[in-house]
Amino acid sequence: MNTTTLGIDRSASHDVVLSRAVLYELHVGTFSTEGTFDGAIEHLDDLASTGITAVELLPIQEERGERGWGYGPVHQFAVRRSYGGPGGLARFVNAAHAHGLSVLLDAVYNHWSYPAMFLERFAPYFHATASTPWGPTPNVDGVGADEVRHYLFENARLWLEDYGVDGFRLDAVHEVYDRSAVPFWAEFSDLCREIGERMGRHPVLIAESDLNDTKVVRPRSQGGWGLDAQWSDDFHSALHAALTGERAGYYVDFGSLAQLAKAFERPYLFEGGYSVFRARTHGSPAGDVDPFRFVVFDQNHDQVGNRGDGARLTTLLSPGLARVALGLLLFAPYVPMLFMGEEYGERRPFYFFADPPAALARRVVQGRLRQLRSNGFTEPPPSPVELSTQELSRLDWTRAGSPVGQAHRAFVAALTTLRREWPALQGGVASARAWEESRRIEIRRSHAGSDALFLANLGRETGRFELEASRSWKIVMRSDAPDGGDPRAELFRPVNGPYEVPAEAFAILRSD
User: Which candidate in 62, 141, 175, 208 is catalytic?
Assistant: 208
Are 41 and 3 in contact by the 8 Å Cβ rule? The answer is no
Q: Which of 91, 338, 88, 56 is nearest to 204 (CA)?
A: 56
Query: CA angle, corner 148, sides to 87 and 353, nearest 5?
Result: 50
* Residue 343 annotated in active site: no
Those residues with Cβ within 8 angstroms of residue 243's Cβ, 6 or more apart along the chain or in another chain: 313, 317, 321, 324, 325, 458
DSSP assignment letter at 162: I
Sequence-distant (≥ 6) Cβ neighbours of residue 313 within 8 angstroms: 240, 243, 244, 298, 299, 322, 325
Cα separation of 69 and 300, whole Å? 12
Distances (CA, A) of 56 to 52, 165, 204: 11, 10, 11
- Residue 240 and residue 299: Cα distance in Å, rounded? 8
Kindly name the residue from 25, 56, 62, 171 that is annotated as catalytic.
Answer: 171
**Cα 94 to the center of its chain, rounded Å:** 23
- The answer to whether residue 208 is catalytic is yes
- Beta-strand pair 61-63/102-107: unpaired
| CA–CA dist 87, 136 (Å, integer) | 31
User: Catalytic site residues?
Assistant: 171, 208
